[in-house]
Structures are given as structure tokens and as C-alpha cells.
A and B are shown apart, each in its own frame.
Chain A
Amino acid sequence: MFDFEFTTPTILTVTALTSYLREVLDSDEVLRDIWARGEVSNFKPAASGHVYFTLKDANAQIHCVMWRSAAMRLRFELRNGMAVEGHGAVSLFAASGQVQLYLDSLRPAGEGALYQEFLRLKARLEAEGLFDPGHKRPLPQLPRHIGIVTSASGAALQDMLQTLGRRLPLARVTLAATAVQGVEAIAGIIAALKALNTLTDLDVILLARGGGSIEDLWAFNDEGVARAIYASRVPVISGVGHETDFTIADFVADLRAPTPTAAAELATPITLQDLSAQLNLQTNTLQNLAAGHVEVRKTRLSLAEAALRQHSPRARVLNAAQRQDDLRERLDLAFGNQLRRQRQQLDALTSRLGALNPESVLSRGFAILTDPDSGKVISRRNQAQPGQTFRARLQDGSFLARALEKQEGAEKND
């Protein structure tokens, strides 16, 4: 599996040797996933963003590399002489033949121990019920008086005041200033929470601090602070550090906000804009209802007027006149219909009469024979004798004719 170049079976090129060494190191389970603790030296930040330094203790040292992508996630400023714990993999840099530790994360030494302590305390307080959802107090929708526990000089305070001022300037704010890191922080925070709880009209407390290292936030992982939050009569919103930071205070608080600004937002679910919109809505409703009251009266009035008009004598006369007009119209209509019907009958009769007119028969080639003396029509054989004269009337005139011989039946074509 190794790409050796043999000059003789036992002699390796340097490239092949380092290549082999690297394969050995890279395939080692332990070296692939390892934590190392030591002191930073020879640290020099490179323009590329990659970080190179030496990790050493009293007896040994190892060269360390942290690529830019990992170095960008560093949460503290790296300095020579700093005690750190780094995680990564050991490999060989062939160009210099150096074994190096390639770090993917780095933290100040001792943080791991603090974290263990954090987990122990968290488990204990959780078992004791300090994080119990049933103990979380409901937060006011529209707080009138908001307490803040934070440092008077921190950016967190300015962020919160700005947010509150923008969202709900109707509110009153009381600041209980305290150190939020260092030796005084724990006692200070506990005292501030207690002091704010003596204000009888306080609706909510914001317990906040800007971002920092795990040591900076340590006061918020203190058991005494946790118990002070739990004991607070006024509901507490925590907003400690950055979004990714979770402290014991966050777990005990009635609501955990990811940042101080977010804490101020969560404390003011209803904003001035919301109130303004509500007010406009209610004012419109008021207008509409009032207009409705007037409108109802107007409608009733016009109904009453209509009723009055209907029962007045003048209306009766007008009604009678109208009834008369109606009757006349109906009469005209009925009469007109009858006339039309009779006219149609007449037309039908006339056309039937036309069909019976003898003239129309003559035009088809028939002749009418009459006795020239009496004028009687000869329509039968026995009305004429041979030799008798008669008149034949045709379409356009007549002539005299004489009968020669009688024949029976209708004329036949031979």
C-alpha cells in the first residue's frame, strides 16, 4: 500500500521515509484525536490567517499549526506564555521533517476543569428542582417597571436601554449596577437581585452581561447566584454572553435570552407600535359605533316619514288617481288585443276566399260553360243537348261554342 521507491530493498529515499512516517502517524488512533496541554511560545500570527506556535512544558515542545478556518473560531486572544489546551491530530510536515500538532480547537487551560465543575453543579441544581418548568413565573405582557442587573459601564446596559427605549418607552427602568466579572461579581449580583426584589411595583428583572470567555461569565455559573434567581419574587430574564453560551443562570431564569438585547426584546412583547395600532383600531371602532347610533336614528326617522306619507289624504287621492290610470291602461290593452285577434281572423278568411275565386281556376286552364240566354252555368252533361250553343268563359274573355256529341265519363287522353 505504500508507494516506495526502492533503490535497493532496504534503502529508502527521504521522501519515501517521511511519507511512510506520515502514514504511520496518520493511522494511529490516539494521535488522530488528541488533547495536549502546554504553554504557548514562538507565537506569530501570519498574514494568511493561519496560526503557528510552539506548545511546550518544562521538558519538551511540539510545533503546532492551526489553519485559518479553525483560528477564526478562537474565542480569546492568543499570547506567548499563555497556558492552553488544544485538540487536534499529530502528523508529519514532510518539507521540514517536523512532527506537528494540527489543532482544530484551542482553549485557555483550566477551562476543561471549569466545565466539569459546571456540569456537576448543573446536575445537582437540576436534581434539586431549580430548573423546574413549573417554577417558571409568567412574564408580564406590558411591564411598567423593569429592573436591570448588569454593569453600569458595559455595552450590555446601553444595548438594553436602547432596545427598551425603542420598543417600550412607556416603561420605567431601575438599574441595580454591579460588577459582572471578577471577585465582587457574585456577591454583587446576589445583592442586586435582592435589592430589586424590595421594589414592590417591579414587573420583571433583566440579568445580563455581554459576551466573554467562560471565566468572564463565571459568576453566572455560581450556585449562590442561581439560588438568588430562584428566590426572586420578580420574574427574571437572563441574557448572558452570546447565543452559544449557556450558564446556570440561564437554566434557573424564568426565561433565557441569547443576548442582553434579546432579553430586552423578550421583556417587551408588546411595543409602542403595537399599542399605537391598538389605539387606532379602538378609536375607529368608537367612531363607527357612534356613527351607527346616529344612522339607526336616521333610518327610523325616514321609515316614520314614509309611513306618515302613506296615510295622508293626499296620498289617498293620488292612489285613487293611480288606480284609475291603471284600469284605463288595462282596458286599452284588453281592447287592443281583441282588435288584433279579429284582424287576424279577417286576414285568414280573405286568403281562403282567394283560393275559392273562379278566376284563379280559369288561370290554370279551365273554362266555364254557361247558357248564353239564361247565364246559368252548365256543369252537367244533361244540361246541354247536341247542337246547342253555349258560352265558354276563359281567363281573358269568352267565345260562343256548340255542343256536338255527348260522351259519358270524364275526357280521356288517347
Chain B
Amino acid sequence: MAKATINQQLERLEKIAADLKNEDLGLEEALKLYEEGMKLSKKCTETLEKAELKVRELTEEGEERDFDPGLDQ
């Protein structure tokens, strides 16, 4: 699901930023992490800017279906 992905991406991004602070990290790895971080952050921003609200409804059977809030308008 796209929503979970955004948060996973954000988490990964935070992790990369934290890892880059580690002095023991080799330059090669640091550069690799940096590159990943840059790509990921760009993707994240794009995903967020494109996000569309999903409203679902919990049925009596415990299933989910789309909820249309605009019926009366």
C-alpha cells in the first residue's frame, strides 16, 4: 500500500541521515548511503505531493469498502 511505503521511506530516510553521522563508516559506504538518501527523499516528496485521500468504510461483515461521503452533494 502506498501509504505504508511513504512512512517506510521516511523511516529509511531518517535511518540514513543517522547512519551518515557514524564516523566509522567508510567513505564508499557513506557516499552510497548519501546517494540513496537523495533519491529516496526526492521520491518521498513526489509521493507526498501526489497523495490522494482514501476513505474506506468498515462493513458489518468486518470487510472494507470505499466510502463515498459526497452522496448528498
Binding partners A and B: no
Contacts from A to B (Cβ < 8 Å) = none
